């Protein structure tokens, strides 16, 4: 199991130092919110660029923004290794997926808790990441919505059946208990914000989620 700490729950005044406390992380999860697609604001590409030189770990950029195509170049140039956008925000996902691949960036599609897997099925053969939101996007520290486990199971079944190569990522409300539930349905990567950053020993928390 890979672990992607979400810096949304970290101290924004000390991002460089915060990144040094999560050396056991596999990816760094970066939540970009626009106050339009979700009712909260975080930061944009300049902040991603600013922290790029402070860690070698892959940047997993999660765009919770309307019109992601408008900002794709900026987030690519800022040093994102993966860029995940929401299926609810685009009419032609294939164009964005192709553009990301052209720039050697991994392409991800995300689903809000109520969006069904069938909405992304035509693109599953092309993408590298499927991010299942297990809380309504917008805020850290919410409770895991158990109903979303069925979607992870479905994505895991489809992956096996068709030999797809995407990684199944879950985001929201992850702790030791929900991590086990996700592992049991075939999830590959756990995003966790508060569970990791609210603890003193962040690496110990990361190790616990890996079990």
Site for ligand DX5 in 125-164 (CB under 6 A): 135, 137-138, 140-142
What is the pairing mode between strands 106-111 and 82-86?
A: parallel
3-state secondary structure of 136: coil
Residue with tokens 């053969």: 125
- Kindly tell me which residue out of 105, 187, 192, 206 binds ligand DX5, with binding defined by CB under 6 A: 192
3-state secondary structure of 100: helix
Site for Zn ion in 167-206 (CB under 5 A): 171
Q: Is 60 in the site for Zn ion (CB under 5 A)?
A: no
Q: Would you put residue 115 in left (φ > 0), alpha (ψ -120 to 50) or beta?
A: beta
Q: Is 112 in the site for Zn ion (CB under 5 A)?
A: no
- Separation CA 89–CA 110 (nearest Å): 10
Which among 50-58, 78-86, 111-119, 189-197 is the span making contact with ligand DX5, rule CB under 6 A? 189-197
Catalytic residues: 31, 171
Residues forming contacts to ligand DX5 in the complex (CB under 6 A) are: 6, 8-9, 29, 31, 62, 135, 137-138, 140-142, 171-174, 191-195
């Amino acid at each position: 199991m890979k672990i992607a700490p979400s810096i949304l729950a970290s101290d924004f005044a000390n991002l460089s130092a915060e990144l040094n406390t999560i050396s056991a992380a596999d990816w760094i999860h970066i939540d970009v919110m626009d106050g339009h697609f979700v009712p909260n604001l975080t930061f944009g590409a300049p902040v991603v660029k600013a922290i790029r030189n402070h860690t070698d770990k892959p940047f997993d950029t999660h765009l919770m923004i309307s019109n992601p195509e408008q900002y794709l170049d900026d987030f690519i140039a800022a040093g994102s290794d993966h860029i995940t956008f929401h299926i609810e925000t685009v009419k032609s996902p294939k164009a964005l997926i192709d553009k990301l691949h052209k720039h050697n960036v991994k392409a991800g599609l995300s689903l809000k808790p109520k969006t069904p897997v069938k909405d992304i099925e035509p693109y599953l053969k092309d993408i590298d990441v499927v991010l299942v939101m297990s809380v309504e996007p917008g805020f850290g520290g919410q409770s895991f919505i158990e109903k979303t486990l069925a979607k992870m199971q479905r994505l895991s079944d489809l992956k096996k059946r068709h030999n797809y190569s995407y990684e199944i990522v879950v985001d929201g409300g992850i702790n030791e208990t929900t991590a086990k539930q996700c592992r049991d349905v075939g999830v590959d990567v756990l995003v966790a914000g508060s569970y990791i950053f609210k603890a003193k020993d962040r690496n110990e928390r990361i190790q616990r989620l890996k079990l």
